[in-house]
Every structure is written in C-alpha cells, then in structure tokens.
Amino acid sequence: MSRILVIGGGAAGLLAAGTAAGRGHEVLLAERNDRPARKVMITGKGRCNLTNDVSDVKEFISNVPVNGRFLYSSVSSFGPPDIMRLMERCGVPLKVERGGRVFPQSDKAVDIVDALVRFDRTAGVRFFKGRAVGFECSDGKITQTVFEDGAKIAADAFILAVGGKSYPLTGSSGDGYPLAASLGHHIIEPRPALVPFVLDGSDFLGMQGLSLKNIAIHIKDTSGKTVYSDFGEMLFTHFGVSGPVILSASVALNDIGKRKYYLAVDLKPALSEEKLDARLVREFDANPAKTLSTVMSALLPRSMIPVVLRRAGVSGTEKCAETSRLLRSSLVRTMKSLDFTVTGTRDFNEAIITSGGVDVRQIDPKTMQSKLCDNLYFAGEIIDVAAYTGGFNLQIAFSTGFAAGNCV
Ligand SMILES: Cc1cc2nc3c(=O)[nH]c(=O)nc-3n(C[C@H](O)[C@H](O)[C@H](O)COP(=O)(O)OP(=O)(O)OC[C@H]3O[C@@H](n4cnc5c(N)ncnc54)[C@H](O)[C@@H]3O)c2cc1C
C-alpha cells in the first residue's frame, strides 16, 4: 500500500482518488475550496452533461480536436459506459438526451458531485482543504507538496488534477502550469476554448440577441482558404457571436486571436445561389409595389435586414418591381456569405474549457504518469486536450482520472 496525494478535487481528482483508494492505497485529496467540484456544480447549466453515449472510442475521439488520439487508451479502459455504470451504482439514475448527451435524471449536477464524493469516502479517501503551491524533490522524485499555508505533505506518488484556467472563480485558476513547469514539463500556452468570438466593426450590435438556427458558418484565413465549416445555431451578442457552432469553432482553431480569421455566415445553406435568386424573384413578383425592406422580412429576421441591405449596397426603399438582376445577385451573395472579421475570443472568465496545458508528449497515455518525474501523474483539464461540447470534456476528466488512479 502506498500513500497517494491527489491535488485538486474536481471531476478528475475525485475519480482518481476513489479509484486509487479502492485499490487499497492510502489516499489524501487536497482541494483549495471549502467544497470539492465547484465547477462540476455549474456544468450543463446546473444539470451536468457528464458524458456522451457514443457508439465507440473512435467516435469519441472524433469529438476531441486537440490531441484526441492521446486519449485512445484511457477512454478505452474507462469510457462512457463505465462512468454511467459507476453513477448508477452510486444511486444516480441517468438519461440520454439529443446528441447522446447524458444527464442525471434529476437534472441536478449536485447529484453527480455527491455521488463522486460518496464514491471517494466509501473507498476511504481523506479530504482536506489546501492550495498546493510547490513541490520538494529528491533524486528526480517528488517527496513533498508544499501548501500555501506552509504545510508540507509527503507521499509516495502525486496526482496533479487542478484543472485549467477557465471560470477561475470556481478554483481552477491555472495553478497547475507553474507546478508542472517547475519539474521541467513543457506547457503548451493555455488559451480559452469553447468560447465566443469577438468581431471587428459594429454591424453585429444592431443584431445583438438575435439567434439563428439552421445556418452554416465558414471560417477563412487571410488567404481566403476555408479552414473550418459547420452547420447549426449561433447568436449575435454585444461583442460579437456565440452559440454552438461558434463555440465548436473556437476549439478547432487553435491560433484564433493570434491570427486573423474571417467568419462567413451562410443564412440560407439549404439553397444554392440560383435557388435563392429564384426565391427572391418569386417574392418580388408577388409584391411589385412593396419596398425591398418590407419584402425581405419574409426571408430574414427583422434586425438583420438593415445590415444585409447595406452590405448589398441597397437602400431598401426601392420597389420590388424596380429591382435589377444585379441588385438581386448582390443580395443573394450577401445572404450566402455575411462576412465579419474575427479579432479574437472572449477571455477565460467566459471560456468553458482551457485548451493547452501539459504537453501530451511528456505523459504516458496509458497511465498518465509523467515521463519526466516517476511519481507524478496528471489527470483532467491540466493536460493539453480539448473537446467539443456534449459531455466529452467531463468524460476526459473521468477517463484520465481513472487511468491515473488505477496505475499509481
Ligand atoms: C460553465 C461550464 C459548463 C460546463 N459544462 C460541461 C458539461 O456540461 N459537460 C462537460 O463535459 N464539460 C463541461 N464543462 C467542462 C468541465 O467542467 C471541465 O472540463 C472539467 O470540470 C475538468 O475537470 P478537472 O477535474 O480537470 O478540473 P476542475 O473540475 O476544474 O477541477 C479542478 C479542481 O482543482 C482545484 N484546484 C485548483 N488549483 C488548486 C491548487 N493549487 N491546490 C488544490 N486544489 C486546486 C479547483 O478548486 C478545482 O476544484 C463545463 C465548464 C464550464 C466552465
């Protein structure tokens, strides 16, 4: 039996601690907050989308655009069916919603947190409050963890599961990066991910609050090459754009904010330019005496009409009967590609996850053991992996937490 110190009582730390204790180790869990898993409490808008009921590991990994392959082994060993079984065994019935998203039947994230804490306590994990600030080492191994209040805790092995930097008020404020770097680990620069975009200009301001369904987005680099496309929902805000397709794009493009990108919104993805033109002709023919801006309300949300007309070089006061073919084609082009310049993303306070972190090349993907320090293991968001929404990020915390707790 060894003495294990788990640092960080979030999703990954709780799973790692209970797993290690269940194997007979003496496990201590240090959490800087009074209560563990504050972030898990606010996941899924307080409902906790804890995993995704994907059909296999390959499908899981296709939802992890940053270093997905690193997770192959850990998700194979402890994947969605395993956390679902564990939760049901801990007395939390689950349900599967649209897109395979798994939630507790109660719709209460606190039920998941309580179950994880119960899992730990039943296995004999001892919790204490403390913020880890440093390590003491000897012969390339950690001997003790140093805490903010000066306390030092010795152990045979250490699991660092302090999360990333997003939503820092929950306790995950990036402490893990200097801790890992102090032992020689390379840290891929952390950046906000699953985060809204900030746009240049002011056109979006008149559309704030407008939510668009069934649109397509294409993100282009400065050479005009499309680097990302998606279909779904988005929303205009007071700073730019948000919503599912935007959040996903923020994970896939890892140099956003450093490089300039252009966002092109296709407002009518189901119609080719020709079909959209034919639709306009029908609309204009049926309403010859009406103005363009009046008739466009059959095709576009009201707050968007002035923007589209201006971009198309149209005043809107023209009568439908008077619209030229040239003018129509300008309207069609604008509706098929409403363009904006992306200047960056919102910050860590609004980012659902952190991309970047401990370089996966320095971690054994089967065990989560550091390749630089024998008795150090990593788990959860501190590692440089990042996934789309849908329960994948919590599952990554559980899978890597299990691997660390099972191999320590
Ligand atoms: C608003 C929001 C909603 C989300 N919704 C979902 C969702 O529905 N589904 C999903 O899959 N993912 C969701 N996520 C992402 C998910 O919450 C994280 O990916 C996951 O919590 C990461 O787990 P973790 O254990 O690595 O880190 P965390 O859960 O962040 O836990 C880290 C813990 O370490 C503690 N800690 C930090 N520094 C120290 C230190 N120096 N010493 C001791 N303790 C320390 C922290 O206080 C914290 O308790 C959401 C995130 C946010 C912000």
Distance 335 CA to ligand 1 centre (A): 40
Tell me the torsion sign for CA atoms 113, 114, 118, 119: negative
Domain with CATH 3.50.50.60 in the chain: 3-191+356-407
Report strand pairing: 376-378 vs 157-160: parallel
Q: Where are the alpha helices (DSSP H) in 257-378?
A: 273-286, 292-295, 305-311, 325-336
- CA nearest ligand 1 atom 39, residue: 162
Q: Which of 394, 395, 400 to mutate to test the pocket of ligand 1 (most atoms within 8 A of CB)?
A: 394
**What does each of the 408 residues of the chain score in pLDDT, given as a tens digit?**
899 999 999 999 999 999 999 999 999 999 999 999 999 999 999 999 999 999 999 999 999 999 999 999 999 999 999 999 999 999 999 999 999 999 999 999 999 999 999 999 999 999 999 999 999 999 989 999 999 999 999 999 999 999 999 999 999 999 999 999 999 999 999 999 999 999 999 999 999 999 999 999 999 999 999 999 999 999 999 999 999 999 999 999 888 878 889 999 999 999 999 999 999 999 999 999 999 999 999 999 999 999 999 999 998 899 999 889 999 999 999 999 999 999 999 999 999 999 999 999 999 999 999 999 999 999 999 999 999 999 999 999 999 999 999 999
Please indicate whether residue 33, judged by its CB atom, sits closer than 6 Å to ligand 1.
yes
Q: In sequence order, which residues have a C-beta less than 8 Å from that of residue 286 and are 6 or more positions away?
A: none
Please indicate whether residue 132, judged by its CB atom, sits closer than 6 Å to ligand 1.
yes
**CA distances in angstroms from 89 to 74, 94, 402, listed in the order given:** 21, 11, 16
- CA nearest ligand 1 atom 6, residue: 43
Distance 399 CA to ligand 1 centre (A): 14
Question: What is the spatial distance between Cα 223 and Cα 161, in angstroms, rounded to a whole number?
Answer: 40
Atom of ligand 1 nearest to the CA of 380: 26
* Best CA proximity match to 30, nearest among 133, 164, 143, 138: 133
Fold of 3-191+356-407: FAD/NAD(P)-binding domain (3.50.50)
* Best CA proximity match to 188, nearest among 384, 353, 362: 384
At 160, is the secondary structure helix, strand, or coil? strand
Query: 0.85 exceeded by the pTM?
Result: yes
